[in-house]
Chain A
Amino acid sequence: MIPLIVAALIIPLLTAAFILFARARIVIKRIHMAGSIITSTVLLTLTYGIYLSGPVGQGLLYMDHLSAVLVTLIAILTFTAALFSLSYMDKEVAHEPSPGKAVKRYYILFQIFTFTMISVLVVENLGLMWVAVEATTLASALLVAFSFSRAAIEAAWKYVMVCTVGICLALLGTILLYFAQLSTGLEGEALSWLALKAIGGKLDPSMVKIAFIFIIIGYGTKVGLAPMHTWLPDAHSQAPSPVSGLLSGALLSCALYVMMRNIAIVRDSLAFDFIQQLLVGLGLFSVMLVVPFLLVQHDVKRLLAYSSVEHMGIITLALGIGTPLAVYGALLHIFNHAIAKSGLFYLAGIITQEYRTKQIMRIRGILAQMPRLGSLFLVFVLIITGAPPFGIFFSKFIITWAAFAGGFTLVGTALLVLLGAVFAGMMHYSFQMVFSSQTGTEHTTPMGAGAATAVIVSLLLITISGFYLPDALETVLHQAATIVTGG
């Protein structure tokens, strides 16, 4: 198992190195695709291994069921994003002065980004986890700024600044947590998650409380919780669409993962209703705050980005409720949201390429001109807003159910109503773009094979997850929920 983990870390870096020395674009693409497929396979094998044999760890590397959930996710998402990038990027760089270089840069950064995300999930130490999270920001910042247009630079700048400031607060929290660990006087590796988890109950509550606040706000910035979410719509809207999909689906989930790791530790020493109030409050606030942005929006990718904020809010809320059911729902929702949202970003990418604008006002008549694309987009919007019988409906339902069962009746009702408002906003703009007889563009190009496959794979996965989860995934999800709830 451990060699596999190491392999999962090394393969993306190796791929990046190979790409660096490759010349022809077709070769670059092949290396890239091969690397991604191998990475994904390794990651899926890891999950299966964890399902069979339980947590593994050695030194600084550690994987348990919680990481397995996220690893699965990364495996799926890097695969679809890699696949989608193939045709998308060709079109994207067509107008660059030196397309070959740009493509090369993109694929290298892509692989490095994958590496940083995987490293977040496989390290055991909270300090290293912090390092890895910061590394994801840095790796993705250049992807966000990929086109170096004014808007892209602006987005990347804000992304790095806001996230780094946030992450600095998380570091402050982590140091305080370390201080609390030292203060117990017990032996144990510094900031080791397992060690901290073992002595969780003995940590000084007042210190842990402050540490936890800093950690939640710090990683919350990265998760995109309001009001620290400000970087998110900028970065998501300016990044190339496969990267937007990865940012929204994988990166936010990784940040959530780190948050969950920390929650698992502090649960033993803090009064539980403190954690509940903090997380439920932040979660509900996030859902609430995005509503006006979804009701009045002009940019299709920003629309999707705000929807991500909303979903992160829902997940945080579920984590705050904290019952095993709620956490299970949260994990399932992370999974479903990642797949659906990345699919949606891919589609939005195709749309923006075809219409050469992100302005909703200018995108008209998708269904009339590109029936397949239009219907796929519509279906995905329905999925993301929680229409049955797709996966998101179920995870949303489980979370709401957990809210009611956990005594958060008012919160649950408020959440349902807010989701209705979100639905109204999302649908309004989607209808404008999809149904209309006016035309926005004259000539259309057929969807690339890679792009189509990526979208179809996402659609299939999200549809199946509505009806059936493989036993392995189901078990892993349950075990992961137990880990977060302190089992």
Chain B
Amino acid sequence: MSLMIILLMFTAFLLTRVTNLRTAVSILLVQSVVVAFSCLVVGLETGKTHYFIAALLTVFIKAVIIPYALFRIVGRLKREKETDSFLSPNLSSLAAVAATAVAYGFIDRALPGIISRDALAAAVAIVLIGLQIIMIRRQAVLQIIGLNTMENGLYLLGLSVTKGLPLIIELGIFVDILVAVAILGLLTYRLKLSYLSTDTTLMQKLKG
């Protein structure tokens, strides 16, 4: 399980550095697979069937459909690349490290002596990194990936501290994520159509 957490953290860190959209989607794919594996691990530990179903669903939705959809979108977005981020890759990695430190610090302070401290802290850290990605990156696709990272972090949290949510809820969450990605993808496509770019910082007309 710890291995999975480390892997997840690693992918999250990687995401702070990539500029190529295709690479980013690939990393998300890896991340999702890791999440599915963690699910499987928990399933093997507890021996309950619904983890296997959840792991299967994760693989199906997060590792197949979503990356596929994102790859298709990226395929249509020629010459789109992350440039001039709010923070340079180095700085954003630094920010991710800071977020991890904050997460650990916070968990230790607010919930001292909790059982699965590492998993909890890692989950919070991944959520924070996901938030950071949305804040730092300009590319629409990268923001979608940030959102997914957040969601993965939360999923990990659920797995590690509560041994997973009831299946029906998880199902609902999966559907939501799927639809969210679909809608965001559609919007990205429309963005490209009307702005001729998927740089989200162009969208600053609505203010005041």
Contacts and interface: CB of A to CB of B under 8 A. Distances in A.
In the complex they form, do A and B come into direct contact, defined as C-beta atoms under 8 angstroms apart?
yes
B183 A127 contact: no
A270 to B, nearest CB: 14
Contacts, number: 123
Interface string B96-133: 00000000000000110000000000001001001100
Contacts of A234: 206
A207 B111 contact: yes
A293 interface: yes
Interface stretch (B7-15, B20-28, B87-95, B162-170): B162-170
Contacts of A233: 206
A207 B184 CA distance: 33
Given A158-B203, A210-B111, A296-B208, A145 B190 contact: yes
A153 B187 contact: yes
7 contacts: A135-B176, A142-B186, A153-B203, A164-B180, A168-B151, A191-B165, A191-B166
Given A131-B173, A165-B147, A179-B162, A148 B179 contact: no
Interface stretch (A170-178, A431-439, A472-480): A170-178
Nearest to B182: A138
B165 A210 contact: no
Interface string B67-101: 00000000000000000000000000000000000
A293 B184 CA distance: 29
A60 B179 contact: no
Nearest to B178: A138
Contact of A127 (B127, B169, B195): B169
B157 A160 contact: no
A138 B165 contact: no
B150 interface: yes
Contact of B154 (A60, A157, A175, A297): A175
Nearest to A141: B183
A190 B179 CA distance: 25
A237 interface: yes
Contact of B195 (A132, A138, A150, A172): A150
A135 B208 CA distance: 28
Contacts of A189: 166
Contacts of B162: 175, 178-179, 182
A150 B154 contact: no
B115 to A, nearest CB: 9
B190 A168 contact: no
Contacts of B161: 175, 179
A380 B205 CA distance: 29
Given A165-B150, A172-B127, A134 B180 contact: yes
Contacts of A141: 183, 187
A138 B180 contact: yes
A135 to B, nearest CB: 6
A238 B166 contact: no
B5 interface: no
A244 B180 CA distance: 21
Given A127-B172, A157-B203, A190-B166, A175 B157 contact: yes
Contacts of B124: 172
B19 interface: no
Contacts of A161: 134, 143, 147, 184
A165 B134 contact: yes
A442 B184 CA distance: 40
A145 B187 contact: yes
A160 B168 CA distance: 23
B128 to A, nearest CB: 11
Contacts of A179: 161-162
A128 interface: yes
Interface in B137-193: 140, 143, 147, 150-151, 154, 157-158, 161-162, 165-166, 168-169, 172-173, 175-176, 179-180, 183-184, 186-187, 190-191
Given A151-B206, A153-B203, A160 B169 contact: no
Give the residue among B157, B161, B187 with the most A Cβ atoms within 10 A. Answer: B187
Give the residue among B151, B184, B195 with the most A Cβ atoms within 10 A. Answer: B184
A17 to B, nearest CB: 17
Contact of B169 (A128, A155, A182): A128
A175 B165 contact: yes
A138 B177 CA distance: 10
Contacts of A155: 206
Contacts of B203: 150, 153-154, 157-158
Give the residue among B169, B179, B184, B200 with the most A Cβ atoms within 10 A. Answer: B169
Interface string A441-481: 00000000000000000000000000000000000000000
B20 to A, nearest CB: 22
Nearest to B174: A131
A304 to B, nearest CB: 14
B89 to A, nearest CB: 22
A296 B207 CA distance: 12
Interface string A41-65: 0000000000000000000100000
B206 A138 contact: no
Contacts of A207: 111
A151 B190 CA distance: 12
A298 interface: yes
